[in-house]
Amino acid sequence: MDAFVIHGGRRLRGTVRIHGAKNAALPLMAASLLTDEPVTLRDVPRLADIRNMGRLLDVMGVSVQRADDGPLHLATHDSGKCEAPYDIVRTMRASICVLGPTLARRGEARVSMPGGCNIGDRPVDLHLRGLKALGAEVGLESGYIVARAKRLRGARVFLGGPFGSTVLGTANVMSAATLAEGTTIIESAACEPEVTDLAHMLTAMGARISGAGSPRIVVEGVDRLAGVDHTLVPDRIEAGTYIMAAAITNGDVLIENCPTDSLTAVIDRLEEVGVNLEPTDGAAPPTEQQNLRQSVRIASDRRLEPVQVVTQPFPGFPTDLQAQIMALLCMADGNSIITEKIFPDRFLHVAELLRMGARCLRNGPSVLVSGVHHLEGAPVMASDLRASAGLVLAGLAARGTTTVNRVYHLDRGYEGMELTLQQLGADIERVDVPAA
């Protein structure tokens, strides 16, 4: 099993180019089920989750091809397959995003019910509620969600839940509604840039969608969708992770292809911490379009100020950067409070940070982080993708050697993370550790 061995204490210097967003790529790949024409996706990162989605689409009758670093080509060759099998779905919860497109285009979908994971229970009730509102019959048979509808009908759908909206639920309902008869209004829709990117791609395929990026999305159904050639939005979470890697090592890093307008809340918190992002191509004027790509240079003060962070749905501070900012705040000069409002149990990294000498005290969905002068390297265990990223950041700043075990979690969401960090001057290597 692969692990990262990090000798901490090196300042990062150099340039990183941000890849296309994993969390945009997955529902966009699934949307290829909505058409018989070819779909080309550009700037798709090379990640385990992307390969898993490719495997899933393959068994569902969509061929997925890619030459070296080129675009991903998807083409339906068998529209009779409706089943997303347990064996693949259990490797990746995001498989649920084939549900809406398969149902809408093929009249039936059988998708293995995703289980919980290390960040919480992760129910899919809102996805199912949304598809039922569009007229689907939805049931559970032997662990499979089974949804049927000859043709979906437009309706008003409310997607608010106890923790806000649902990102993949919005993707599912919006995708399904593109081929429904009549108009669908999604209230309390997720506003995340990945949903907006999906809306842009579907619109280019012939869908009629307005309001994406706001809590009310209106979809007027059409009879068919065409193929498309689409470039993904840059990955705001990958960008945020490298920004914080630069900050925690007091480095000097240029981030290219950075979606700064999708990182407003993150930039706001970081400025208060004492980390500044300077656009090197001049400050862009504010625009309504959520698709800005900039080059930004990270410059940080040696002294990091403590702050309060609350994770929230977009445009709030993303839960997917909570572990990384916790690592950074472990080195701040005072007490910070981090409150998790999306996944209140997403704190498995706390116990591992404590092993590195951090001072963190969890109380329900909040963690009090008291800054320390330095972290000490230690063997730590990664529990999920973003928690692992937080531990790598802590390892980059720590004195001595940190071994981050189970980096297969990181390979799900960061393309060649150790290579990128090596290029920036970090002392990090991937080693094969025999499973205990």
Active site residues: 117
Q: Which of 16, 23, 202, 277 binds ligand EPU (CB under 6 A)?
A: 23
Footprint (CB under 6 A) of ligand EPU, residues 35-94: 94
Residues 336-375 that bind ligand EPU (CB under 6 A): 342-343
CB of 230 or CB of 386, closer to ligand EPU: 386
Instruction: Tell which positions 126-145 bind ligand EPU, by CB under 6 A.
Output: 126-127
* Cβ(181)–Cβ(151) below 8 Å: yes
Residue 321 CB, nearest distance to ligand EPU (Å)?
A: 10
Instruction: Work out which of 58, 163, 182, 220 binds ligand EPU, going by CB under 6 A.
Output: 163
Buried b (16+ CB within 10 A) or exposed e, 128-167: bbbbebbbbebeeeeebbbbebeebbbbebebeeebbbbb
Nearest to ligand EPU of 173, 367 (CB atom): 173
103 vs 398, beta carbon nearer ligand EPU? 103
- According to DSSP, the β-strands at 401-405 and 156-158 are unpaired
> Contacting ligand EPU (CB under 6 A), which of 85, 107, 161, 357?
161
Write down the least CB distance from residue 285 to ligand EPU, Å: 28
**Paired residues of 14 in beta bridges:** 253
- Smallest separation (angstroms) from ligand EPU to the CB of 367: 17
Residues 224 to 263 in contact with ligand EPU, rule: CB under 6 A: none
Output 96 or 398, the one with its CB closest to ligand EPU: 96
Measure the CA–CA gap between 334 and 67, rounded to whole angstroms: 50
Q: Which structure tokens are listed for 279?
A: 């656009």
Residue 362 Cβ, how far from ligand EPU at the closest point, in Å? 18
Of the candidates 385, 392, 398, 404, which one interacts with ligand EPU according to CB under 6 A? 385
189/228 Cα distance (integer angstroms): 24
CA within 13 Å, CB half, 165? 28
Amino acid at site 356: M
CA angle 55, 57, 62 (to 5 degrees): 120
What gap in Å lies between CA 250 and CA 218, rounded to an integer?
Answer: 45
Q: How many CB atoms lie within 10 A of CB 67?
A: 8
Site membership for ligand EPU, residue 168 (CB under 6 A): yes
Let me know how long the chain is: 436
User: Does residue number 166 form part of the binding site for ligand EPU (CB under 6 A)?
Assistant: yes
Which residues in 86-125 contact ligand EPU (CB under 6 A)?
94, 120, 122-125
Instruction: Pick from 32, 260, 319, 324 the residue near ligand EPU by CB under 6 A.
Output: 319
Nearest by Cα to 119 from 344, 413, 353: 344
Contact string (CB under 6 A) for ligand EPU, positions 394-413, x = contact? -------------------x
- Judged by CB under 6 A, the number of residues near ligand EPU is 25
**Cβ 391 to ligand EPU shortest distance, Å:** 14
383 binds ligand EPU (CB under 6 A): no
Q: How far is the CB of 122 from ligand EPU (least distance, A)?
A: 5
Least Å from the CB of residue 359 to ligand EPU: 26
Contact present, 204 and 129 (Cβ < 8 Å): no
- 180 near ligand EPU (CB under 6 A): no
Nearer Cβ to ligand EPU, position 177 or 304? Answer: 177
What is the full DSSP assignment across 93-121? GGGGGGHHHHHHHHSEEEEEPP--BTTB-
In this structure, are strands 183-187 and 208-210 parallel, antiparallel, or unpaired? unpaired
Binding mask 320-339 for ligand EPU (x = CB under 6 A): x-------------------
Token look-up 């993708």 returns 385
What letter would DSSP give residue 200? H
From the CB of 126, what's the least distance to ligand EPU, in Å? Answer: 3
Residue labelled with tokens 């280019």: 204
Residue with the two structure tokens 């205990």? 436
If residue 300 lies in a helix (H) or strand (E), which one and from where to where? strand 294-300
Angle of the 99-106 helix axis to the 125-133 helix axis, nearest 10 = 20
On whether the CB atoms of residues 420 and 15 are closer than 8 A, the answer is no
Point out which residues bind ligand EPU (CB under 6 A): 23, 26, 94, 120, 122-127, 161-163, 166-169, 190, 319-320, 342-343, 385-386, 413
